[in-house]
Structure 1
């Protein structure tokens, strides 16, 4: 452990000593700062819409059906990210970068839609309008997420992907948790509209980041600024739908892509089961209140997020993506199985707290390793679409896991449900044994070399 700490500190010092730059390809510290900040921007509205507002509605005696309908509507856009990603790969304003114009557009939409909640008249008795605005917030949140991920794959070098994902994912979790706690406190103290308006200021301030930083040297800061498209962006930008579909097919038909896609669905099923299981289990089995669960959830998420930011990425870099991925999968399966087999200790809150904190910490570390692995499997030519495809499969797994919980709980007791969940990370670990990242990267590199030989690049106007 001492060696890991020393290594992490040394690497961090080297990164911080690099020259700060306004273009992301030239500075590691600029990349870490920019993407972490953009992920905080995703976490703030998510904490409000998915957690704080439903709790506020419940506090004001809205029925479970009304609250569930609201949450269901705002969750829809996150299932359709795969539709948005090809648009970003196909169209852009190259003079401002391949994905940065889309990030700015998504962030602007996020600000406007988030701020508009505060202008809904009598939101408690106008749930249709509240759900409509919530849908728009989720749409632009998912939009910004796809654009940010695509830009990250484009500009973050392979040796930084794990650390960057640690900072990004940890930032989002912390943003979500803090916005839940702070948002709830503000709603109770200064009122719903004032609370939302106050938090929307933080989302607006983050807009400065994608405006200030460019992807590559020589690009325009804004459309009216001086600059032009970078030569590297021109080479990797696809100009037709047929190119996108053909390129996507070439990379997703590879063995590594297929297996990782299946594995993403499997682990997504575990996420969905656990996310749906925890609130029901804590209230119905343990006798907690919703407030108690929310507090424990926030604390556990923040602990996991902080550790993920400063430890999770470095562990993946130090030991390797696949080794840490297998380790996290094995440990998370083990602690869930142990918890299932020790039901006589469930009456002890300390045991429950340790389990929830342990799970969410490992969940954060696992997400970092999974995202870093997904980035390494991506071909930059169709990075946004390919990465989003993996995330869409994971989201489909989440939805399946949530639906599956009801079936499992109908026929089995909680201890057997937990044992079933423990099997899923082991299945993913088994699947990952058949993924060879080196062979996959060599195959992708051969695609790029072949394209340079066979295809004469079209001249793209700035």
Structure 2
């Protein structure tokens, strides 16, 4: 074997290891989250839990947008011997497994809401913190040309986690019971722990001595970062969030059961989103960030139009399911390109802090926009809100194209 062949083989092996690690981390981190937000809600509702209590359970999700508050700690502290971010990922992944296993004694979850909510909150803290370390490691491992595919895997892994955690786990629960469903999630989550333990993180070379809280906002000093974060992304994301916010209440008004809504919105519509995420990652590499962003925005606006019959009160199962599949697929595409550009702005020394800060702002804006959309729907109706969401997406797409023309990365 020649030296060149050996180097090529090593490069291929290292590339496969990186993407195997990325897939394992992002898939398993969302397994439990998908179960908590979709599967557990359905299980508890079937057991007679009130909607108010279910709403309290959903508020645990606010931990994710707040994770930027402790992201600098992940960048600042870590083991050089084990690997800076790997030294976080191993105990956090173990924490995800153990917190899932801690749910197994509570057969008949509706009768044990107190401890279940506490354990779920702990799980979400582990999951959000694992996401910081995973994002930071991915920023360091991927070249500019590989980030599209990496973020396609990230978004696709999240949706696949929702399908398994929100759909398959419920089916297992229905057939084999609570313990079997929780063990399924724990075993799948543990697979990523093995991948992390086997991985050897490249040594981290710092330009600054120790990144910390003083670096939290310096990411916005980069050229074009403020306009991207505070103008383009809010419009691009808010439009999608506003459109999606009316889906569940519109389906309830149309007479759909909660179980049917959960299956269609959380499972059926997530399957095409997984495939689209991977395709969008490939497109970013082939077409570039600017063209993919424009294509994603136009398709997102078009797919939002498909929700118009639902907004007008007509929610046939076939059409609504197809419209939601198309909407979630294009929403996933938008996520991939936004995450890729956020990664472009994330510096190697403070990768976890930068990426988390940028994505947390967009997530927080989405939460706020969703709440305002429901209030606005009371005044102008679902169709008016849907039209507004399409206008916002198109404006965000136009501004995003202009931003990328001026400040975008041109890596192949």
Q: What is the deviation of 1:426?
A: 2.0
Q: Which residue, out of 3, 16, 19, partners 2:9?
A: 19
TM-score, normalised to structure 1, is 0.81
Q: How many residues of Structure 1 are paired with residues of Structure 2 in the alignment?
A: 402
Higher Rg:
1
Q: Deviations over 1:395-422 (max 9, x none)?
A: 1112102211221121012111111111
CA gap 1:338/1:45 in 2 versus in 1, 3 angstroms: closer
Retained in 2: the 8 A contact 1:90–1:237?
no
2:4 aligns to what?
none
Confirm or deny: 8 A CA contact 1:40 1:174 kept in the other structure.
yes
> Unpaired runs of 5+ in structure 2?
1-6
How much has 1:199 moved relative to structure 2?
2.1
Aligned to 2:205: 234
Alpha-carbon spacing, 1:295–1:126, altered in 2? closer, same or farther (3 Å): closer
Counterparts of 1:157 and 1:121 in 2: how far apart (Å)? 47
For the pair 1:142 / 2:128, whether they are aligned, the reply is yes
- The answer on 1:277 being equivalent to 2:246 is yes
State the 1:389 CA deviation: 0.7
Please tell me whether residue 406 in structure 1 is matched to residue 374 in structure 2.
yes
Structure 1 residue 440: Cα displacement: 7.1
**TM alignment of 1:445-456, pairs within 5 A:** none
2:292 paired with 1:305? no
Deviation at 1:126, TM superposition (A): 2.5
What is the Cα deviation at residue 293 of structure 1? 2.1
- Name stretches of at least 5 consecutive residues in structure 1 with no aligned partner: 1-16, 217-229, 443-462
Residue aligning to 1:109: 95
- Distance (whole Å) between structure 2 residues aligned to residue 344 and residue 279 of structure 1: 14
Contact 1:376/1:437 (CA < 8 Å) preserved in 2? no
Does the C-alpha gap of structure 1 residues 282 and 214 become closer, same or farther in structure 2, counting only changes over 3 Å? same
By how many angstroms is 1:255 displaced? 4.0
In the alignment, the residues of structure 1 paired with residue 336 and residue 275 of structure 2 have an alpha-carbon distance, to the nearest angstrom, of 12
CA distance in 2, matches of 1:36, 1:234: 25
Q: Say whether 1:384 aligns with 2:360.
A: no
Q: So what's the TM-score if we normalise by structure 2?
A: 0.90
DSSP 3-state at the match of 2:103? helix
Q: Deviations over 1:29-79 (max 9, x none)?
A: 21111101111111210121111111111111111101111121x213212
Distance of 1:128 and 1:115 partners within structure 2: 16
The answer to whether the 8 Å contact 1:76/1:135 transfers is: no
Farther off after superposition, 352-361 or 142-151: 352-361
Matches of 2:324 and 2:184, distance apart in 1 = 31
CA distance in 1, matches of 2:137, 2:350: 11
Q: Is the 8 A contact 1:264 1:391 kept in 2?
A: no
- Whole-angstrom CA distance in 1 between matches of 2:384 and 2:364: 23
Post-superposition offset of 1:156 = 0.7
Higher relative contact order (CA 8 A, sep 6+): 2
Whether the aligned pair in 2 keeps the contact of 1:256 and 1:434 (CA below 8 Å) is no
Q: Is the 8 A contact 1:256 1:437 kept in 2?
A: no
Other structure's SS at 2:84 match: coil
Change in 2 beyond 3 A, CA 1:238/1:264: farther
